[in-house]
Amino acid sequence: MVCTAVIRGQGKGTYKEIIVLFDEAKDASEIAMLADSLGGSVQVLKHVDDYVLFGVQGDKHVQGILDELNSTPSVRVAEINSEISTLKISNDAYADSQWAIHNPGKYVSYVNNAKKEIYVTEDIDMDVPEAWEYMNTEGLPKREVVVAVIDTGVDYNHPELSENMWININEIPGDMIDNDNNGYIDDINGWDFYNDDDSVCHYSYNNRLKAYLASPNDNDDHGTHIAGIIAASADNGIGIAGIASNIDVKIMALKINGGKKGTGEISNAIEAIKYATMMGADICNLSWGTSNYSAALEEVIKDSDMLFVAAAGNTGTNNNKNPIYPSSMELDNLISVTYINAFGKLARLSNYGDKTVDIAAPGDNILSTIVGDYSTMSGSSMAAPQVSALAALLYSCNEGLYPSNVKEMLLKSMKALPNLLGSIKYPGIPSAYRAVLSSGNLLQDVQPPTISLKTIYNSGIIEIPVEIDDKGGSGIRVARWIYGDRDLDYFRRGTVGNYVKNGLVIADKAGMYTFYVSDYAGNETAVAYEVIADTTPPKITVKITGKSVTVWINDKRGGVRRAKYLPGKREVWEFMPAGSGTEIKLKDNTATFKVKENGFYTIYAIDHFGNNTVKVIEVKNK
């Protein structure tokens, strides 16, 4: 039964409101009697079964009434009513177009500045407002997260992006000096690998619109669109909100595609990945692909501690049969993403593959930033940054996270979509809310790996076995070495130095070496190690029995290379000419030979490192 009291002549704001829940449903007479017992200032504003909303006139009586209600045996809870708000999306001008963030069953499509309302399937979205709300109310940590966008350039002057661009704080703008010695001059926001300079966006002034837009000769709209999906500023009254706009997210602009057609090369992609790894990016968005497999590309991805999110392609084909790379690479630190429309279905040109495509994300009719403006684009290129942005939300919650665990968390927190069953590995789209809700279960690794080293002198070869222990559990991603005593920074997060292959380094000389190892959580260790030169000659021990001479020749490091003898007292140099002396054939560093006459003999031995010695003996056969 519902009973509502209407207080005429009184505005709602006149009352302090108290919510009361009873142990069981109450009838109207019981509630009226309770209200009377509390005093004439209490009015029944609403009554539904076991729930009552009381209105109290004046503040001075409220606390006393609240205390009396909470001491009443039949009252389960009594508390002051407080305001709530609907889940905040943003106050941005085009928020109603962002169905990927919030989908109430319709969204607005903007085409040539004309608005069109499109009715779709409700709740086909990534639960982003819920995630934002949860992160704010729970006070989750929000550390800076850097997302490398390897694509066309990014409009770093765009009002939606300018405050969220990554800045290389160790570089001085415009001085034409490589201040941080990373090999790139004036790389303030990233680098243009296509043009090999610091121009990460190319502008052209449009006289008609009186604005700087993308240069038609080197269009950077695509990369700017991706950056906006991830990091466009929220609540600035213009444009859109990026999925990761509620955290301290930064876009590292790495341009590899350029020219009128936006083409690029694998070599530039490899260099860009190495740059992003070196400069400490957390996530790498790859909204491009090729049908040509590249082992080198796979290696640099595998060697990086970034989480990679790759677009699955837009040809409507099965990636199981016709792979698209790098999306189809089976790596623990890479997520492959195809795209859906606002009805929860794969679009006509969405690639699929139950063995090669991990998950889907919104990618159809996505409004985002372009150079100097906004535009709608569709494709897996738009889906990948949705996932990159959700990954950024998780990375913001903790230090010491690692890609494989973040990937697992994102995939397992998916929002299942029946239409995707059988098409991809995880038939659904990521739920930002479910992901951040489980962020407390993310594994952390803050322990640097340890390195144990020793030197083995093996037949003239110096071997250094390298034993690495990863106690933190994120896994070893790369181990390197270099001759000389170097500090940790020299290795630039594992992008510089020689690889340690199969746990063994062959040293070509004695001296100081530095060994480096990093895990997938970004923990690093560098250890200086000295290889001592072998300057000790072999040791010769002799036993003479009649005219039989038994020799033991030992060399703890280099090993014995050759042994000889000559009659008489000889010097080392006399054994140098080829063919000089009689060879002593050693077995297990020992041998026995006979001489014909009494007298002095000289035994010579040399190890594999060129250390040699002689021992003079006298044979006296009575």
Q: What does the mean pLDDT of the chain come to?
A: 91
User: Does pLDDT of 257 surpass 90?
Assistant: yes
Distance set, CA 215 to CA 32, 200, 262, 311 (Å): 74, 12, 12, 25
Place of tokens 């029944």: 44
**DSSP per residue, 297-364:** HHHHHHT--SEEEEE--SSS-BTTTS--BTTT---TTEEEEEEE-TTSSB-TT--BBTTT--EEEE-S
The model's pTM: 0.82
Q: Report the distance separating Cα 18 and Cα 39, nearest Å.
A: 14
- Average pLDDT over every residue of 445-450: 96
The residue ranking higher by pLDDT, 499 or 8, is 499
What pLDDT was estimated at residue 482? 95
User: Does pLDDT of 603 surpass 50?
Assistant: yes
Distance set, CA 312 to CA 145, 286, 293 (Å): 24, 10, 14
Q: What is the pLDDT of residues 477-528, one digit of tens each?
A: 999 999 999 999 999 999 999 999 899 999 988 999 999 999 999 999 999 9
Q: Which amino acid is at 123?
A: D
Q: Could you tell me what percent of the chain has a pLDDT over 90?
A: 75
Among 362, 295, 301, 352, which residue's Cα sits nearest to residue 323? Answer: 352
User: Does pLDDT of 411 surpass 50?
Assistant: yes
- Average pLDDT over every residue of 116-138: 94
Q: What is the pLDDT of residues 202-234, one digit of tens each?
A: 999 999 888 899 999 999 999 999 999 999 999
What pLDDT was estimated at residue 26? 84
Ordered by where they begin, the domains of the chain are 2-80 (3.30.70.80), 95-441 (3.40.50.200), 450-531 (2.60.40), 539-619 (2.60.40.760)
Query: Lowest mean pLDDT: which of 208-217, 466-475, 524-533?
Result: 208-217
What pLDDT was estimated at residue 84? 41
